[in-house]
Amino acid sequence: MKDKLKSLKESALAQIHGAQHLEALNDVRVAFLGKKGELTSVLKSMKDVAPEDRPKIGQLVNEAREEIEKILEEKKVAFEKKLREEKMKLETIDVTLPAKKPMMGHRHPNTIALEEIQRIFIGMGYEVVEGPEVEYDYYNFEALNIPANHPAKDEQDTFYINKNIVLRTQTSSTQVHEMEKGKLPIRMIAPGRVYRSDEVDATHSPTFHQVEGLVIDKNVTFADLKGTLQQFAKEIFGEDTKVKFRPHHFPFTEPSAEMDVSCFKCGGKGCRFCKGEGWIEILGCGMVHPHVLEMSGIDPNEYVGFAFGVGLERIALLKYEIDDMRLLYENDVRFLKQF
């Protein structure tokens, strides 16, 4: 029995010293000290030992158990210390290393274009005014000289919430709200999102952005309109930019015009960018219709004004030579970080 106990102790100590991790150490503990372990089996066989030898054998078993438990605990403490040291090593911060460069966002080309347009007009003394995107039919159409039977009110072009409320199709409604305040003169631009029932393609979207401009004062002429927009074109596209006005029709302005700018890619010679014409159409404009002034409570015999509207996406597409409007809404980081 003594030889067996000695052999068990030596085997347990050898396995403890050979263990490479805590799990292996626990396996040794179970194998020798568990309910079905080797030493437990020896204790169960004490009934076969002569009565006079039992105290001595019991003492040897307890000594073997105590020694095995002591070595197990020492080995466990050593493993835990090593694990703590490895964890501390992993968590150590070298303050001399350069910091990780944070991922920076990128301004959207629409935002860049809008900020530039606002900077130009604020520099001319204009005020930036915002209005509601959900608008009364009256402000979106009737107050702008668009009667009930006008094609622009067709449900194919306009998103109706109910009979009297729509998603605005233009930011001109903001101008009406401003005129109704009666604080004259007015010199303002109204940027914002607008909605029209269009199919999504390279040049159309059911939601896009406009920047409308309005000036109401005494002795305002079409020459003032032309001079303002010419200065705007030069600042946005370059000092060599030329402008051309073509007669057009808008219900809320009379006379009305569309403005073209000379192609800033070819200088007006004709290229793929301007489709060989040398000119690019960018906005509509005109003198505010007298009836529009009357409906807003402004005397057209005393005050006159001009208005213009430019598509923000159109400016961004032209300025940054983007050939597909859908790129502006897909939020692809590879595209956005170019700006």
Residue-level pLDDT at 3: 65
Q: pLDDT (tens digit, 9 = 90+) per residue, 189-201?
A: 999 999 998 888 8
| Over residues 91-105, mean pLDDT | 80
Residue-level pLDDT at 96: 86
State the amino acid at position 148 in one-letter form: A
Mean pLDDT of the chain: 85
Residue-level pLDDT at 150: 74
Residue-level pLDDT at 43: 65
| Over residues 145-156, mean pLDDT | 75
Q: pLDDT (tens digit, 9 = 90+) per residue, 171-224?
A: 999 999 999 998 999 999 999 999 998 888 887 888 999 999 999 999 999 999
Q: pLDDT (tens digit, 9 = 90+) per residue, 276-306?
A: 888 989 999 999 999 999 999 999 999 999 9
Over the range 85-102, which residues count as b (16 or more CB within 10 Å of their CB) and which as e?
eeeeeeeeeeeeeeeeee
Residue-level pLDDT at 257: 96
CATH superfamily of 109-336: Bira Bifunctional Protein; Domain 2 (3.30.930.10)
Q: Which residue has the tokens 């940054």?
A: 320
Name the H helices within the chain.
Answer: 2-18, 22-33, 38-44, 54-91, 109-123, 137-140, 172-180, 222-237, 290-295, 312-319, 333-336
The pTM (predicted TM-score) of the whole model is: 0.67
CA distance 271 to 277: 7
Of 91, 29, 111, the C-alpha closest to 65 is 29
Residue of 299 and 99 predicted with greater confidence: 299
- Please say if the pLDDT value at position 268 is more than 80: no
Q: What percent of the chain has pLDDT over 70?
A: 89
